[in-house]
Structure 1
Amino acid sequence: MGKASRRRRTTDDSGAPAKRQRSAAVPYVSRPFEGLPQETEWVAIREILPAATAAVTFASGKAPEGAENVTIATVLPMAWPALHRADGTVLIGTQSGSASGDPSRDLAAQILAGAAVEPGTAVQHVAAATGDTPRLQDLLDTSAPFEVVVHEGFEFWVDGQELDEEGQSSLDRANESVVPTKRMEALSSAYWVRIGDRTYIRLILPEDEDTATDALARLHAAGSSALGDGTRLLGAFRACGLLVPVFEVPADSDAADHEAGLGAFGERYAAALASTDALTAEERRARSGLLSRQVTLR
């Protein structure tokens, strides 16, 4: 075969320029975890929890070969996107960064990459997802629970494996960075956290962020947006298309001290959410104030 024949064709049979095969672009998704069970918990493990894990269940016939047991985690050593442990478990780091506008597709790409490497191997880089990459919603059983477990440290990285002195020292340093975090029981996806000498409760609301903001504005205008004496609503941030109110509570208080207040807030929020009345002038001002203090994570 001559050199001319081996060259890549630049025209088609009609003589027109040949079209290159291009992967479909990844469309931006404002709520990437919508449609998954416990959408708010997916947002929590990706955005606000320091050390947490949750096992996933694949839909029938959708488990990638070599990835029958997959655990979603917050972060992995060295911010690896995936780790295929020697025992066959694939760990996925949700906070290793997002390469596209759809974290669901990025995490699915990490699962596929973790499954493809040999057990005992870390994945240090994952090729960018494309529009042809499946999403989590394409792979997972959307009827199965997604139960997030909050850990005090990163011992789940090693899961009972023996560490040498250097490895233990590295794990200890990582554990020192973990801020104390506890799950609240009164409402779903509410977490108590102590950062330095201040203590907060973060609540991930499942409704569309505009709808949730309206309800929160009604409560704030009525002076009923706090969780009780000595607490206050600092504001809210947006994460993966959902609204996350942040309450400051007394620095020395524990999570259990605010369960009743959080439950009562949930009832007031539900009532505000159900209201069909137009926002009053005072409620619109409260809404503007909330929006002016909002930030968006990633």
Structure 2
Amino acid sequence: MGKAARKKGPKQDRVKKVREVFVGQPFEGLAGEPELIALREFVPSATVELPLKDTGGRKVVLGTVLPMAAAAFVRADGQAFVGLQVQTRSTDVSRDIGRSVRWALEAKEGDVLSVPDTITPGSEGERLQDLLDPKAELDVRMHTDFSWWLPEGTEAEGEVALSLERANGAIMPSERLGTGAYWVDAGEKAHLRWVRPEPEGKVLQALARLSAAGEIGLGDDSRYAGSFRAHGLLVPVWDLDPEAHAREWADPAKQLGERLDQALASLDDEPLNAAERRARDGLIGRQITIR
């Protein structure tokens, strides 16, 4: 018995679906890539004025966290802010932030963008790479609280006051020790988290070389803890003595950076030896990934 013929009904409208491709290294090509990753992932309170190609007469400040985790807002005095640590994201973080920057350039005083635009299909000219001077370094300003949310001499009210109180209460003391390198006092331990701009494989090999030579630490009362991946880059982490102030780790961190740079430079001429390869395998086993 043959198959029954299916009766064809009227054509139905179909919604064209756009397949979004996940961008694993959203800030690639920007000189400030390590700082953008650090401020998005683990720095509690910091700001940086964006080196925009065209401001239209308005400066835009990038901040770690804004009131109620907003994507952007314009203060009563006209200063525009864009937030990095938000609750929603698309497959391209650079595009999300770029759209918030464009909104901030055109918004009015008192306007708030609660969440970034993660729905509209992508188009050209929206990413941070399109809006910023790619060679400009970022001048990061660290803060001990979130009073920068408000114009000077202004007191918070309502939901902003509650959000300010919660945000201030969650801050862990932090200091910037160098490009992409941040000290944080987490209580029982202090840490150095260092976003490295080099390819992950190269960083691991250089760290392995230092580890095999007994030079991976920052001196006494420090220990290499492992690393995590964030937005396409590797972030090595060291445990530090919490009794020591951040300034006491500045020179050791600088010296470690010099050793790491030397190890990176040596990789082209000197492949890892057996001991260094074993050290690398051990380091690989202590990695996690943060998107």
> Within 5 Å, which residues of 2 pair with 1:134-283?
134-163=126-155, 168=161, 170-184=163-177, 187-275=178-266, 276=268, 277-283=270-276
Give the C-alpha shift of residue 113 in structure 1.
3.1
| C-alpha distance in structure 2 between counterparts of 1:21 and 1:181, whole Å | 47
Give the C-alpha shift of residue 170 in structure 1.
4.7
Note the alpha carbon deviations across 1:91-120, whole angstroms, 9 max, x for none: 111010452222111101222333454320
Give the C-alpha shift of residue 18 in structure 1.
8.1
Give the C-alpha shift of residue 269 in structure 1.
0.9
* Corresponding residue of 1:106: 96
Q: State which of 279, 283, 288 in structure 2 corresponds to 1:286.
A: 279
Residue identity in the other structure for 1:73: G
TM-score normalised according to structure 2 size:
0.86
Give the C-alpha shift of residue 165 in structure 1.
6.5
* Corresponding residue of 1:52: 46
SS at the partner of 1:295?
A: strand
| C-alpha distance in structure 2 between counterparts of 1:57 and 1:131, whole Å | 23
Note the alpha carbon deviations across 1:239-278, whole angstroms, 9 max, x for none: 1111111111112001121222222212221121112322
Residue identity in the other structure for 1:297: I
User: Structure 1 stretch 125-134 or stretch 93-102: which is displaced more?
Assistant: 125-134
Residue identity in the other structure for 2:232: G
Structure 1 219/143 Cα, relative in aligned 2: closer, same or farther at 3 Å?
A: closer
Structure 1 20/249 Cα, relative in aligned 2: closer, same or farther at 3 Å?
A: closer
* Corresponding residue of 1:95: 85
> Identity over aligned residues, as a percent?
39
Structure 1 173/268 Cα, relative in aligned 2: closer, same or farther at 3 Å?
A: same
Residue identity in the other structure for 2:28: E
Residue identity in the other structure for 2:65: V
| C-alpha distance in structure 1 between counterparts of 2:277 and 2:121, whole Å | 41
CA contact (8 A) 1:117 1:123 kept: no
Give the C-alpha shift of residue 131 in structure 1.
2.7
* Corresponding residue of 2:4: none
| C-alpha distance in structure 1 between counterparts of 2:88 and 2:30, whole Å | 18
Give the C-alpha shift of residue 212 in structure 1.
0.7
CA contact (8 A) 1:113 1:126 kept: no
Tell me how large the CA RMSD over aligned residues is: 2.4
Give the count of matched residue pairs.
Answer: 277
- Find out whether 1:124 has 2:110 as its counterpart: no
Give the C-alpha shift of residue 141 in structure 1.
2.1
